[in-house]
Structure 1
Amino acid sequence: MESALQWILGALVILSSVLSVFFSYRSRRTANAVLRGLYGARMNICLGSTLILLALIQMLLFSGSTLRVIVGAVFLVLGLFNLFAGMRNHSHFTKHRSSAQ
């Protein structure tokens, strides 16, 4: 059971990290400001998901030492901040995109 959870969380971390790099690349390469904002927001969402998954790995799969709990809590707070900021920015740029068309 624990091994399956470890593999699932590991695969999700890799997937969200790859998507974060992909959206970062697309954000930096596009000339359109609205698309740049959308890709940046998606990158923030993926980065937040990565940090939240890393916090879950730290808190669920390893022994509960004080340092691990602190690092997991910091990752969780940073991940939630990135996730919500990315969601807010995504809705903002989606409105701009639909009004520009």
Structure 2
Amino acid sequence: MIESIQYVLYVGLIITCIFSVFFSIKSRRSVDGKARGLSQAKMNISMGFMLLILAFIQMFIFSGSSIRVVIGALFMVLGAFNIFAGIRNHGLWTRYNPESNQS
């Protein structure tokens, strides 16, 4: 049972890491501002899930020392904040219309 949870967490970690790198490269190569913002928002969401998975690995797979639990909780808070910021920015960039801002 524990081994299957480990495999799922590690596969999830690898997938979210790949998505984070993919969206990071996509946002850096993008010329359009809206596409860059959307890619950065998706990168934030991917990094948030990656940090949450790291927190779960840190807190549930290894033996529980107080330092490990504190670091896992820190990763969890950072991951939740990244997910929240990414979702918020994704919503802002999808509603952004550059033609309406010109005078």
Question: What secondary structure sits across from 1:63 in the alignment?
Answer: coil
Tell whether 2:13 aligns with 1:17: no
Tell me how far apart the structure 2 counterparts of residues 95 and 56 of structure 1 sit (CA, whole Å). Answer: 34
Count of matched residue positions in the alignment of Structure 1 and Structure 2: 99
Tell me how far apart the structure 2 counterparts of residues 44 and 66 of structure 1 sit (CA, whole Å). Answer: 28
Question: What secondary structure sits across from 1:91 in the alignment?
Answer: helix
Tell whether 2:28 aligns with 1:28: yes
In structure 2, runs of 5+ residues without a counterpart are none
Deviations 1:40-61 (A, max 9, x none): 0000000000000000111111
Report the equivalent of 2:76: 76
**Structure 2 length-normalised TM:** 0.92
Deviations 1:7-55 (A, max 9, x none): 0000000000000000000000010000000000000000000000000
In structure 1, runs of 5+ residues without a counterpart are none
| Equivalent runs, 1:48-67 vs 2, <5 Å | 48-67=48-67
Tell me how far apart the structure 2 counterparts of residues 10 and 67 of structure 1 sit (CA, whole Å). Answer: 22
- Displacement of 1:96 in angstroms is 1.4
Question: What secondary structure sits across from 1:76 in the alignment?
Answer: helix
Aligned structure 1 segments of 4 or more residues deviating by more than 6 angstroms? none
Name the aligned partner's letter for residue 95 of structure 1: R
- Displacement of 1:63 in angstroms is 1.4
Deviations 1:37-91 (A, max 9, x none): 0000000000000000000111111111011101101100110110100000001
**How well do the aligned residues superpose, as a CA RMSD in angstroms?**
1.2
